[in-house]
């Protein structure tokens, strides 16, 4: 019998998986009366819920006799009580503990491509799936993005494309991961409130690469470069720098010296100017995507006309460098860009630097929220270099403001503490109109560098609030304050 801990989305998917296989299972949840017990019983029937408390002695209960393995929800911190004690007892009893991803990869009977990293995972996962679909393959896409991986096993597919989070990798053994191709796009400080150090965080991400047939290495990221030493398969590199070297890669995907053409070895694959996807950092994401596609479909696939049409039409995902609206002021064009999915410092830096590299002359940036244990010093340096003004929101606005004060810069950006998203957007739009007098292109960018739960239901809710406020500014009406959670 299997014990599922957590009645969330992955818990339900594990229940469906065991139900299809005819295996006995029972679920436990840390939330007590707040758990969706009735929904679970409707789905799986009586006798599938453990009503006792999570504790080390729970395995002595009659309902849990015969448990041989545990599927652990990635949303639960294994180091937190009472789960820490439960898992210690499980280890003492020799029970296998794994995440839904580990279980899915052990039982997958088709090739799979794995994507992780601090930033860009969802974009690369979605684009890879779209390109493979354009080539005529049946693609299962999910994992941390969309459909749980265990549910994908029930659908006919030629290949799985899975986004993987560090939380899912905590209960995942290296020997259970054998990807056709895998990539760690980049590493920056994230989820340190759970993982403790960036070294622990990076070690979790590295698990995907060890046994991959093709390991795709970001040659511009020093932490990812170090991971190449543990890879057992062939190495393929991608980088913004055409001269990047020092690694024995089989192939090198890169941007040309002007940062425009997307190249593989000595061949140009695509003119970057034909991409709708904004930001120079997204050109790196496209390079990683093309390398993943080649690893599965072969070199000739990159020249396929349907693939190229799909690639050039791909505009990105909601809340990821999404242009919400634009307006003209004093002859200048002001674009309002929703990058609410930037929930860590590295993502926000990539967005700001990407706009600067793309030729945006002035930026007004909205940042703030819950820090998750991050330092804001590097973000402050980037904002000091590229932002004309910064609107600060949320729980850790003061910490970002202090980092801006401490940043070594000849001209620090103007900063404003905003009480709501509507306030932040209105202020940012005002600063953008003032900058319009200088001419050039202007971006009002929401790229918070933080989690959103202090003010919003999630990053999507935060992005939607930004979009509503921006659209109101663009058409010249006032955004109702009641639409912003606080």
Superfamily name and number for 322-483: Mur ligase, C-terminal domain (3.90.190.20)
Q: In whole angstroms, what is the distance from residue 166 CA to residue 288 CA?
A: 19
Q: What is the pLDDT of residue 409?
A: 67
The reported pLDDT for the residue numbered 423 is: 97
CATH class of 101-313: alpha beta
pLDDT at position 410, please?
67
Residue 225 DSSP one-character state: H
pLDDT tens per residue across span 98-121: 999 999 999 999 999 999 998 889
Q: Which two tokens stand for residue 308?
A: 């190229």
Reported as a single tens digit per residue, the pLDDT across 454-469 is 999 999 999 999 999 9
Examine the residue annotation and report whether 282 is marked as an active-site residue of this protein.
no
Out of 3.40.50.620, 3.40.50.720, 3.40.50.300, 2.60.40.10, the CATH code matching 2-97 is 3.40.50.720
Helix (H) or strand (E) holding 66: none
Specify the pLDDT at position 449: 95
* Angle, vertex CA 91, rays to CA 85 and CA 92, nearest 5: 90
**For position 346, what pLDDT does the model report?**
87
Query: Among residues 144, 218, 282, 338, which one is catalytic?
Result: 144
Per-residue pLDDT of the chain (486 residues; tens, 9 = 90+): 999 999 999 999 999 999 999 999 999 998 888 889 999 999 999 999 998 889 999 999 999 999 999 999 998 899 888 999 999 999 999 999 999 999 999 999 999 999 999 888 999 999 999 999 999 999 999 998 889 999 999 999 999 999 999 999 999 999 999 999 999 999 986 777 787 798 999 999 999 999 999 999 999 999 999 999 999 999 999 999 888 777 889 999 999 877 789 999 989 999 888 998 877 788 999 999 999 999 999 999 999 999 999 999 998 887 888 889 998 888 788 999 999 989 989 889 989 998 998 889 999 999 999 998 889 999 999 999 999 999 999 999 999 999 999 886 667 899 999 999 999 999 999 999 999 999 889 999 999 999 999 999 999 999 999 999 999 999 874 443 333 222
Q: Which of 178, 191, 207, 281 is catalytic?
A: 191
CB 111 within 8 A of CB 212: no
Q: Where are the alpha helices (DSSP H) in 173-243?
A: 192-195, 198-210, 222-227
- Which pLDDT does position 302 carry in this prediction? 95
* Residue appearing with tokens 């024995």: 248
Structure confidence at residue 485 (pLDDT)? 26
Contact 240, 283 (CB under 8 A): yes
Our answer to whether residue 121 is catalytic in this structure is yes
Q: How far apart are CA 129 and CA 445, in angstroms?
A: 28
Domain boundaries, the chain: 2-97, 101-313, 322-483
């Amino acid at each position: 019998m299997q014990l599922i801990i957590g009645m969330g989305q992955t818990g339900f998917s594990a229940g469906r998986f065991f139900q299809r296989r005819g295996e006995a299972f029972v679920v436990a949840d840390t939330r007590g009366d707040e758990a969706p017990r009735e929904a679970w019983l409707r789905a799986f029937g009586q006798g599938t819920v453990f009503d006792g408390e999570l504790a080390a002695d729970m395995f002595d209960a009659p309902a849990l006799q015969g448990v041989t393995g545990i599927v652990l929800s990635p949303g639960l911190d294994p180091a937190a009580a009472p789960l820490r004690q439960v898992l210690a007892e499980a280890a003492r009893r020799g029970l296998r503990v794994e995440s839904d991803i580990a279980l899915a990869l052990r039982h997958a009977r088709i090739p799979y491509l794995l994507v992780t990293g601090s930033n860009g995972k969802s974009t690369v996962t979605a684009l890879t799936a779209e390109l493979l679909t354009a080539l005529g393959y049946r693609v299962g896409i999910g994992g941390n993005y969309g459909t749980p991986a265990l549910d994908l096993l029930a659908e006919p597919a030629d290949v799985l494309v899975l986004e993987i989070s560090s939380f899912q990798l905590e209960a995942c053994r290296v020997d259970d991961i054998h990807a056709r191709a895998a990539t760690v796009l980049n590493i920056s400080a994230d989820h340190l409130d759970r993982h403790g150090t960036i070294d622990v965080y990076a070690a979790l991400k590295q698990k995907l690469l060890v046994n991959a047939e093709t390991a795709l290495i970001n040659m511009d990221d020093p932490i990812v470069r170090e991971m190449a030493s543990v890879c057992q398969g062939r190495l393929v590199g991608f980088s913004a720098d055409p001269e990047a070297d020092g690694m024995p890669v089989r192939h090198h995907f890169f941007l040309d010296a002007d940062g425009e053409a997307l190249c593989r070895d000595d061949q140009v694959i695509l003119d970057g100017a034909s991409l709708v996807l904004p930001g120079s950092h997204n050109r790196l994401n496209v390079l990683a995507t093309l390398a993943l596609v080649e690893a599965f479909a072969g070199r000739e696939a990159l020249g396929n006309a349907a693939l190229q049409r799909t690639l050039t039409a791909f505009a990105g995902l909601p809340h990821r460098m999404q242009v919400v609206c634009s307006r003209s002021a004093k002859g200048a064009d002001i674009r309002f860009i929703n990058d609410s999915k930037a929930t860590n410092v590295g993502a926000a830096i990539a967005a700001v630097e990407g706009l600067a590299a793309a030729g945006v002359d002035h930026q007004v940036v909205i940042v703030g929220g819950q820090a998750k244990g991050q330092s804001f010093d590097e973000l402050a340096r980037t904002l000091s270099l590229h932002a004309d003004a910064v609107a600060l929101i949320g729980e850790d606005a003061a910490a970002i403001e202090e980092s801006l004060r401490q940043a070594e810069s000849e001209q620090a950006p103007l900063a404003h503490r905003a009480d709501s998203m509507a306030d932040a957007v209105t202020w940012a739009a005002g600063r953008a109109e003032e900058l319009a007098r200088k001419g050039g292109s202007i971006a009002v960018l929401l790229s918070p560098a933080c989690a959103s739960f202090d003010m919003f239901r999630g990053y999507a809710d935060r992005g939607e609030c930004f979009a509503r406020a921006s659209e109101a500014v663009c058409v010249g009406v006032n955004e109702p304050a009641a639409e912003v959670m606080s």
